[in-house]
Structure 1
Amino acid sequence: MSSDPWGRVDETGTVYVRTAEGEKVVGSWQAGSPEEALAYFERKYEGLVVEIGLLERRVKTTDLSAKDAMTAIDHLRQQVDEHHAVGDLEALGKRLDTLVETVDKRREERKAQKAKQHEEARKSKESLVAEAEELAQSEQWRAAGERLRSLVDTWKGLPRLDRKSDDELWHRFSHARSAFSKRRKAHFAALDAQREEARKTKEKLVAEAEALSGSTDWGGTAAQYRELMAQWKAAGRAQREAEEDLWNRFRGAQDIFFAARSGVFAERDAEQAENLKLKEELAAEAEKLLPVTDLKAARAAFRSVNERWEAIGHVPRDARPKVEGRLHAVERALQEAEEKEWRRTNPEARARAEGLTGQLQAAVDKLHEQIDAARAAGNSAKAEKLAKELEGRRALLDQALKGLEEFGG
């Protein structure tokens, strides 16, 4: 008979293992010595130790599922319970019990982690849905469209929820995207219609602009072009290709007209600048007639200046008041000289002036006599009153005498 601390072999070749409940038959050995029998079953024990060690490491260091771990534990426990090995089977059982606790703990941890991930995924998807519903009302078509596409990619990267919750959130998310797409489609359809209407309007404006390009009614046509430009701006934009082509034609028609006008205006400006120079020379010639000493000669010379002035033509508008003012000043001086000469040589006017002077002189003489009589009578109040009246008549007489002097008398 052979034995060790955990097992023995009896005379019949039966192999036993010692346990807390007593000896348990491991098996029968007839092929060799008792020592070989114990060594064989001890190796089987060592094999169980290795397998349990490997399973412990897998549970601790890999993502082995709880189900697969429990299947492996049950398989090893069955081998331990069947007592087909010699060794500390109770210790192996305890290690398997501990491993079960570890697997249970890992299962709960994974369950909690999964619940946490589920809750985070739910919140993330609810956040995506809320943002998508907000974007569905946006009119930032490009930015909102790009963001919605980005949200779809984010959604695909999130774990699924329970079927009901996931379907409900996806329905809201999908509805928001559809609502945005529908609004965007309607917006661009309306925009296309507006652009088509703008194209038709601008084609008419281009036709009008091109028809006006050869006009020589510079002021009226320029005003018409301003009105066409106002209508162009109010019409809105056409499709990009049509807008560019129409604008080039519209602008080209204006350029033809305004280039022609600029050429004419440049020629006119040069002519008017030369006219101004000539009129300034005539104004200087007229100014030499002042002061008037020989009215007849001055009048003839001014008439000659005026005839040449009228023949010259227009001058620049901003220079016109000054140069015309110089000629008008000479003309007014001649008119004043003529009026003075007329008054001096008019017989009727002279007679009226002499008659008025005589009347005033008689009145002054009479007032002198009345003042002397009043003073002689001692009526000083009357004399003072008559003296004041005399003062007024003398003033009128002085004016009349000055007027008479203009007639040389």
Structure 2
Amino acid sequence: MRGAIAHMGVDMALWEKILDFGDPYAEQNQFTDETSGAKFAEVIYGGRNADDEPCKPADDPKGVGRWVGIERDGGYELLFWKHDRKSGGKTEYGFGITGDPLKQLHEVLDKKAALVKKAEALLADEKRDGAALRKMNALMDEWKAVHGFSTPREDEMWNAFQAARTKFREERHAIMQSMAKAKEELAQKAEAVAEAKDFRNGSAQMHELMDQWRKLSTAGRQADETLWARFNGARQAFFDAQHENYKQRQAKIAENAAAKEDLIKRAQELSDAKDYSREATAAMRALGDAWKATGFAGKEINDQLWERFRLAQSPFWDERKKYNERRHAEWEQRHAAWCERMEGVLAAKQRTLDKLEEQVDVLEYQIKTTDDDDRRRDLTKRLEDYQHDIADIEHDMADIRHKMKR
């Protein structure tokens, strides 16, 4: 039976058992290759005698077919298959096979053994620089390019090859680690100087750090580039900040002074408008908030600007207070007159309420004393109407009293 498996990312033929191809004279052989440790199966079949009947392979050596497979994953992977003459005699090869499979397997082993030897030679060399690393990586590329059969011997070679590569990388890492650590410390110191923004003493500190950097060897290209970008970035940031500090401070002071002049102008305009509405009040408060948010405007004029701003705002707040006092007094008068009117309304509603309550008492008595069911229903309906009227009046009176307390 023939199926398919995925091996190294490629679909390859997998035979679940060794077949005889329906030939009673087929010869099935199994053997282990001592060089690679791989197990093979071979089937020679399809011999035909002069009468075109099945015969032993030895009796028809030129007409037989030959099938060769390597043991893999519980089955056999096709390496070579020369069909018998009766089936056409064509030749099929498994993945990566171009000729005699055993010969090609031994060639693969020779190539991989040579690569292991080169990797171990690089490991024996004390150099762990970039050139040596590139050579080691090139060996890995060569290894990947060699078609493998996944034999026990190949697994041993791979382990030896990987061991040499791993030890090389570890030693290279150890050599560069101390350089990376030293450069990391210098970068941190440079960042601390830059962050401190001590422009008087920082210049000498930065120059000393640069002298120490030049004495260090490589930490690896990527680490060197990353750490240098960090270190030099801190230095550049410091010197740029030092260069721009005075100019920026002066520009900011001028900007703040102009902003405060504008706030003074707007405060004066609000005061002159004599508008004391909520919107105008909110606008004047916003100017005060904006003033607090505006930075220093220079030692010479900052206090002068504040005094002008305060004088521009004061008339607004003074007049607004008077305006609100007048409005409140007017409201008190209107409210007092309204309350007086409401006293009369409450008295009238109370009289109405008293009458309704009297009528309720009468209805309740009549309901108790009557024997006429129809009359009782009529009296009960009238009672409910009066009770609703009483509730409405009491609600109105409570609402009026609540408003009178404001």
TM-score interval, normalised by the smaller of the two chains: 0.3 to 0.5
Larger radius of gyration: 1
Higher-helix-fraction structure: 1
